[in-house]
Amino acid sequence: MKFNTKTIHGGQEPDKAYGAVMPPIYQTSTYAQTTPGGHKGYEYSRTHNPTRNALENGLASIENGNYGLAFGSGLAAIDAVIKLLQPGDEVISTNDLYGGTYRLFTKIFEGFGIKFHFIGMQNAANIESYVNENTKLIWVETPTNPMMNIIDVEASAAVAKKHHIMLAVDNTFATPYLQRPLDLGADIVMHSVTKYIGGHSDLVMGALVVKDKEIADKLYFIQNASGAICGPMDSFLALRGIKTLHVRMQRHCENGKAVAEYLAQHPKVANVYWPGFESHPSHYIAKKQMDDFGGMISFTTKGNNYDKTIKILENLKVFTLAESLGGVESLAGHPASMTHASIPKDEREKTGVVDSLIRLSVGIEDIDDLIADLENALAQ
């Protein structure tokens, strides 16, 4: 089955009770038993729920995995992965990591004796130089937020395989429409379903997909034992989101390219960070591992003026000033004062998060309206 068919049919079958084409929202915590242990595969909804299972099967299908697990948020999914580890274990991750992941690693799991190395991952040899006998996990995020750096998943997988370390990839920005990490050698794919997979800014959810049964069984155990599951209503919404992922992503990519090219020629714009440009330092890796370049773009304006940047954001009308990304509507954010405000100014500037940096999640509206909106906001 091709990807554009899997989004609609992958892992799905009509409901067994009445043939409903969409799985019903099984809004139930428990299931009747005829005799102790006599049930139809469902005992309690923390462990299993038919609506969540339908979503998990769909997620496994679109990521070319064998097992899917859905959680109450992206961070809950990451939390489950780190619980595979023990005190004394070490993790290698990128120095340009999603802020919430960084906070979870440093403020929660360092306290439980797990050690994290946040390093430049553009070069796989640098990853390998941090490997020792305690290294159990490599955690990759690509493209990164908000600087749109690209990490080579295949090269990271080669290091992981050589040293018998697990490789997990946060595939939130790319989605399986653009990039399938399990096919590139990763062991675990993670998603903030909140973003492109949900796609409509109406839920918070996370997911993991794996190929290997042993890892899946451990993760299912953690999912049930720690209990950070998502509810049946949200599972239904996420599954509905998956069904249009390919058409939404196609338009996100088209609009993203047009916006990136528009910004690149604008006289007030200094830099545009988008992996589709040949001038992007990792364009060749993006081209190798992604089928297109997506709708996430960051840019700076000349003069790097904080107040003028705030004015641009306030003057946007079609782009909504908000955190998050990946919905049908276009969003704009100011990393320096929003998502990255807790990082000291000189620290964040080292990674490129300067005062004039604006991050766009380009939606699927008419491109003419998006360009006109940017034109107007930049003119003032």
Ligand X SMILES: *Cc1c(COP(=O)(O)O)cnc(C)c1O
Would you tell me which residues interact with ligand X (CB under 6 A)? 73-75, 98, 100-101, 141, 145, 170, 172-173, 192, 194-195, 204, 206
What element of type H or E holds 188? strand 188-192
Nearer to ligand X, 62 or 230 (CB): 230
Q: How far is the CB of 97 from ligand X (least distance, A)?
A: 8
Pair of tokens at residue 345: 């100014």
Judged by DSSP in three states, 321 sits in strand
Residue nearest to ligand X (CB): 74
Catalytic residue among 26, 98, 220, 273: 98
Question: Is 366 annotated in the active site?
Answer: no
Catalytic residue among 79, 96, 170, 234: 170
220 conformational bin, left if phi > 0, alpha if psi -120 to 50, beta if neither: alpha
Nearer to ligand X, 148 or 182 (CB): 148
Question: Is 107 annotated in the active site?
Answer: no
Judged by DSSP in three states, 101 sits in helix
Give me the helix-helix angle, 232-242 and 50-62, nearest 10°: 30
Q: How far is the CB of 100 from ligand X (least distance, A)?
A: 5
Q: How far is the CB of 176 from ligand X (least distance, A)?
A: 14
Q: How far is the CB of 33 from ligand X (least distance, A)?
A: 34
Catalytic residue among 180, 195, 248, 257: 195
Nearer to ligand X, 74 or 294 (CB): 74
Catalytic residue among 46, 218, 251, 287: 46
For residues 308 and 306, what is the distance between their CA atoms, to the nearest angstrom? Answer: 6
Alpha helices by DSSP H, listed for the chain, are 3-9, 50-62, 74-82, 99-103, 124-129, 153-162, 175-178, 213-226, 232-242, 245-264, 283-289, 306-315, 345-350, 367-379
Question: Is 98 annotated in the active site?
Answer: yes
Nearer to ligand X, 56 or 170 (CB): 170
Report, as residue numbers or ranges, the catalytic residues.
46, 98, 170, 195
